[in-house]
């Protein structure tokens, strides 16, 4: 009884929120205000669309992993809507939101879907690489999580100059302070799952890293598409030229973080590490 009442109350609430979102808002401030009150509704709506998309493309399964996946992307769309939508005024927020999500889903590969990427290890890797696309801190942190390197190693391996080096230290610091935790939250990894990952890493190191390498290749392949399109894979001699001439700083940083093969191809071209063995994936869970 109580429950039914509460449910009907929620439904009534939702209906009024929806009708507000259907009305025209004319200023950015009004947009912010209306949308801020409707975040739960919009999140569920975006997650619902994503769920439907997955179902229709044969990528759905009724389990918590898929639910989380749909929620994660719903949140992603909602964030973009919050920022970009306010420049679209006057508009009807709900219709704008729907069209924005529809646009995302009409892209060739709207997200990196692979059943194995829904399990904790896959979710961790997918979340990490996805974050690296939008956050330079995460991108730099990818060197640490993939190979266990510190800022100094990253600078040496990518052959950076003094000015760029300062930035790398900053990237590392911010990642440790807040970036990593936020990314973990965004992935929806629980403390238990994290502990289990850490456990596997210590106890079955080789198996863990082999599996991680397989999965990170899937994720890297997908997210590398977000690099500037003039950053393709290069041969060792091409990398060599870039390193010795000292150009393409950005190219090196971005591509090598997102490409295991090129990392191995370009190994030893930076400074001083030539004697050491080629880098192998040594996945780190903690920042």
Partner 1 sequence: MVQEEDLELYRSQLLDSMSERPSRSVRGPSDPIQVYVNERRVGELKGAEIEATLHVHGVDHVETVQLRTEDGQLLGGLVAPESGFRTTRVQLSADTVELCVQNTVQGGSLSAVFIPAPSFWNRAWTILANVADRWMVRRPESTMAYGVRAVVFTQALLAVAVVGLAADRVMIWIAPEHTVTSTVRTEALRTASVAEIGQLSKQLGELRAMQTKVGEALQSQEKGMTLLHQTMARLSSTQESVASSVVMVKEEMEKRQEGSESEIDRSVQIPVGRGGVDQEQFETAIHGLAADNDRLSKQIAGLEEHNRTVTAKLQMAIAHVAKAVEQSPERVVAREIDMARKHQRSPVADNRQGTQAQPFLFWVTFSEGTTQESIDQWVNEMKGHKGAINEGWQEVQILPPPVPPDLFLEQIKGEKIIKEARLNH
Q: For binding to partner 1 (CB under 8 A), which residues are involved?
A: 36, 39-40, 43, 64, 67-68, 71-72, 75, 78-80, 82-85, 87-88, 100, 103, 131, 133-138, 170-171, 174-175, 178-179, 182, 185-186, 188, 190, 225-230, 245-248, 251, 254
259 binds, among Zn ion, partner 1, none (CB under 5 to 8 A by kind): Zn ion
Phi, psi for residue 91 in degrees, rounded to 5: -160, 170
Distance, in Å, from the CA atom of 98 to the CA atom of 22, rounded to the nearest integer, reads 11
Q: Give the list of residues 6+ apart from residue 72 with CB closer than 8 angstroms, or none.
A: 127, 186, 187, 188
Pick between residue 159 and residue 248 the one whose CB is nearest to partner 1: 248
Please tell me whether residue 245 adopts helix, strand or coil conformation: helix
Question: How crowded is the C-beta side of 105, counted as CA atoms within 13 Å?
Answer: 21
Q: How far, in Å, are 121, 128, 216 from residue 146 at the CA level?
A: 13, 10, 9
Q: What's the rounded Cα separation, in Å, for the pair 174 and 129?
A: 17
213-214-219 Cα angle (round to 5): 90
Closest to partner 1 by CB, 81 or 208 = 81
Among residues 125, 187, 262, 283, which is the contact residue for Zn ion, using CB under 5 A? 262
Residues 195-254 that bind Zn ion (CB under 5 A): 233
Contact of 168 with 175, CB cutoff 8 Å: no
CB of 2 to partner 1, least distance (A): 19
Contact partner at residue 233 from Zn ion, partner 1, none, CB < 5 to 8 Å by partner kind? Zn ion
Cβ of residue 161: shortest distance to partner 1, in angstroms? 11
- Rounded to the nearest whole angstrom, what is the least distance from the CB of residue 233 to Zn ion in the complex? 3
DSSP per-residue codes, 148-189: ---HHHHHHHHT--HHHHHHHHHHHHHIIIIIHHHHHHHHT-
Classify 284 as helix, strand or coil.
coil
Please give the Cα distance from 76 to 12 (Å, whole number): 27
* Residue (79 or 204) nearer to partner 1, CB: 79
With CB under 5 A as the contact rule, the residue among 259, 269, 281, 283 that binds Zn ion is 259
CA distances from 123 to 101, 120, 194, 215 (A): 22, 5, 11, 10
Please provide residue 25's backbone torsions phi and psi, each rounded to the nearest 5 degrees: -110, 145
How far is residue 287's CA from residue 285's CA, in Å, rounded to a whole number? 7
Task: Output the smallest distance, CB 210 to partner 1, in A.
Answer: 28
Q: Which of Zn ion, partner 1, none has residue 18 at its interface (CB below 5 to 8 Å by kind)?
A: none
Output the smallest distance, CB 207 to partner 1, in A: 26
Binder of residue 213, out of partner 1, Zn ion, none (CB less than 5 to 8 A by kind): none
Which entry of Zn ion, partner 1, none binds 134, CB below 5 to 8 A by partner kind? Answer: partner 1
Task: Residue 87: name its binding partner from Zn ion, partner 1, none (Cβ under 5 to 8 Å by kind).
Answer: partner 1
Q: How far is the CB of 86 from partner 1 (least distance, A)?
A: 9
Closest approach of Zn ion to the CB of residue 257, in Å: 10
Residue 262 contact, options Zn ion, partner 1, none, Cβ 5-8 Å cut-off depending on partner type: Zn ion
Residues 6+ apart with CB under 8 A from 76: none
Which residues make up the interface to Zn ion (CB under 5 A)? 233, 259, 262
């Amino acid at each position: 009884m109580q429950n039914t009442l509460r449910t009907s109350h929620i439904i009534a609430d939702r209906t009024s929120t929806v009708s507000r979102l259907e009305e025209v808002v004319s200023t950015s401030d009004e947009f912010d205000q209306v949308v801020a009150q409707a975040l739960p509704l919009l999140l569920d709506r975006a997650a619902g669309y994503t769920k439907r998309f997955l179902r229709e493309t044969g990528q759905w399964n009724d389990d918590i992993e898929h639910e989380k996946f749909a929620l994660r992307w719903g949140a992603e769309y909602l964030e973009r809507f919050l920022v970009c939508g306010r420049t679209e005024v006057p508009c009807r927020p709900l219709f704008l939101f729907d069209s924005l999500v529809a646009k995302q889903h009409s892209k060739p590969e709207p997200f990196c879907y692979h059943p194995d990427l829904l399990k904790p290890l896959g979710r961790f890797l997918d979340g990490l690489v996805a974050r690296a696309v939008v956050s330079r801190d995460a991108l730099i942190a990818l060197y640490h999580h993939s190979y266990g390197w510190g800022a100094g190693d990253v600078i040496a391996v990518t052959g950076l100059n003094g000015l760029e080096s300062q930035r790398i230290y900053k990237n590392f610091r911010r990642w440790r302070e807040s970036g990593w935790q936020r990314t973990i939250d965004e992935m929806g990894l629980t403390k238990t799952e994290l502990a289990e990952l850490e456990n596997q890493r210590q106890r079955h190191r080789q198996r863990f890293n082999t599996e991680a390498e397989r999965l990170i290749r899937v994720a890297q392949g997908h997210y590398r598409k977000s690099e500037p399109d003039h950053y393709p894979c290069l041969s060792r001699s091409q990398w060599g030229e870039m390193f010795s001439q000292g150009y393409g700083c950005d190219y090196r940083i971005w591509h090598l973080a997102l490409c295991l093969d090129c990392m191995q191809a370009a190994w030893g071209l930076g400074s001083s590490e030539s004697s050491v063995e080629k880098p192998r994936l040594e996945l780190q869970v903690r920042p």
